[in-house]
């Protein structure tokens, strides 16, 4: 795959007969950078989508101007810039009555968090409260970090992926220290939603990724069918899909950040047969574990999402 799909690209942007639209950030593996940043104007109308939709990636929104509301999982937040918003994969959100919206949007997948895997838990926690109103001090460091992220991404200087990961890590950690605000509308507690949240949290536990839906259901004290329905309703994806994604993510992290053999990594992520693990990894990523380990440092094309890359100067 050598195409990148931005939110809403490839469809009219409106809900279809298939139900809730799900927007994907697709990147070529193993050599692409699963990260993008740009202003609302750079991303275009889909950055202000007025209809409910989900993402398969993380989104951080830094709002510096504008009026209206942002709705995340039926909870409405009134814009009082500067604001910082965190949206996790699977969350439903849209904009209502916004005018003069200014700021930046940061998009990235779990794969971008390989250097700081604990940030996944911080991001899930931030997404549960979603909307931050920033003090003068917080607004200052947020604006500085976002500007540095944007500059590093656009210039693509030597070593920029590591700098981007470090800057994002600082942004996430500092944001997690900020107090939450009372939302404009607070939805009633939902057992299916809480089960889905507990399931997602379970996938990120330091004890390791669970290897089956049944194991997760038993751990949470619910039936497999109830877990499947709750997770599908809340995230738009099945528990099996999310487990596979988590196992692949952990395998990638071990391949890139450790000297463990492929056999050892296979065992760490729950595969007794290394050959089966290799087939699984290739099916999910398009590359063998060995190719992924050897090829990640070699980026042969523009790392930026094509539709937000600056146009080339005329010859």
Q: Give the separation between CA 35 and CA 118, rounded to whole angstroms.
A: 18
Please tell me if the domain spanning 22-176 has the same topology as the one spanning 191-295: no
- Helices 224-235, 213-220: axis angle to 10 degrees equals 100
User: Which of 148 and 44 is assigned the larger pLDDT?
Assistant: 148
Identify the CATH class of 191-295: mainly alpha
Using the structure block, give the residue that is written with the tokens 């380990």: 293
Say which CATH topology domain 22-176 has. Answer: Jelly Rolls (2.60.120)
Query: pLDDT value at position 26?
Result: 60
Is the pLDDT score of 38 beyond 60?
A: yes
Specify whether the CB–CB gap between 62 and 86 falls below 8 A. no
Is the pLDDT assigned to residue 27 strictly greater than 90?
no
Q: What is the pLDDT of residues 226-264, one digit of tens each?
A: 888 888 887 778 888 888 888 888 888 888 878 889 999
pLDDT over 70 (residue 207): no
Annotate 66-119 with DSSP letters as a single string. Answer: EEEEEEETTEEEE--SSEEEEE-TT--EEEEEEEEEEEEEEEE-GGGGTT-TTH
Kindly indicate the confidence band of residue 193, based on its pLDDT and cuts at 50, 70 and 90: low
pTM as predicted? 0.67
DSSP 296: T
Could you give the CA distance from residue 145 to residue 227 in angstroms, rounded to a whole number? 38
- Average predicted confidence (pLDDT) for the chain: 79
Please state whether beta strands 131-133 and 35-39 pair in parallel, antiparallel, or not at all (unpaired).
unpaired
The ranges assigned to domains in the chain are 22-176, 191-295
């Amino acid at each position: 795959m050598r195409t990148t799909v931005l939110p809403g690209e490839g469809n009219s942007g409106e809900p279809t007969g298939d139900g809730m639209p799900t927007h994907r950030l697709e990147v070529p593996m193993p050599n692409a950078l699963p990260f993008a940043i740009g202003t609302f104007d750079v991303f275009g109308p889909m950055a202000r989508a007025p209809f409910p939709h989900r993402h398969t990636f993380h989104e951080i929104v830094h709002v510096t101007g504008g009026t209206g509301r942002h709705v995340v999982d039926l909870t409405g937040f009134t814009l009082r810039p500067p604001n910082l918003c965190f949206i996790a994969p699977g969350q439903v959100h849209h904009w209502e009555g916004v005018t003069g919206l200014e700021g930046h949007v940061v998009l990235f997948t779990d794969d971008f968090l390989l250097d700081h895997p604990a940030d996944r838990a911080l991001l899930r926690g931030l997404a549960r409260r979603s909307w931050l109103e920033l003090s003068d001090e917080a607004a200052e460091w947020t604006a500085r970090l976002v500007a540095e992220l944007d500059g590093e991404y656009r210039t693509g200087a030597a070593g920029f992926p590591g700098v981007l990961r470090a800057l994002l890590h600082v942004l996430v950690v500092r944001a997690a220290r900020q107090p939450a605000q009372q939302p404009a509308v607070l939805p009633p507690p939902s057992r299916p939603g809480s089960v889905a949240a507990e399931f997602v949290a379970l996938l990120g536990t330091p004890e390791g990724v669970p290897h089956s839906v049944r194991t997760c259901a038993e751990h949470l004290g619910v039936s497999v069918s109830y877990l499947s329905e709750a997770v599908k309703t809340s995230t738009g994806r099945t528990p099996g899909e999310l487990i596979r994604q988590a196992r692949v993510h952990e395998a990638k992290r071990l391949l890139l950040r450790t000297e463990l053999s492929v056999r050892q990594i296979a065992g760490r992520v729950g595969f007794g047969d290394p050959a089966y693990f290799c087939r699984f990894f290739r099916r999910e990523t398009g590359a063998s574990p060995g190719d992924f380990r050897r090829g990640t440092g070699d980026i042969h094309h523009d790392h930026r999402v094509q539709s937000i890359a600056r146009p080339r100067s005329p010859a």
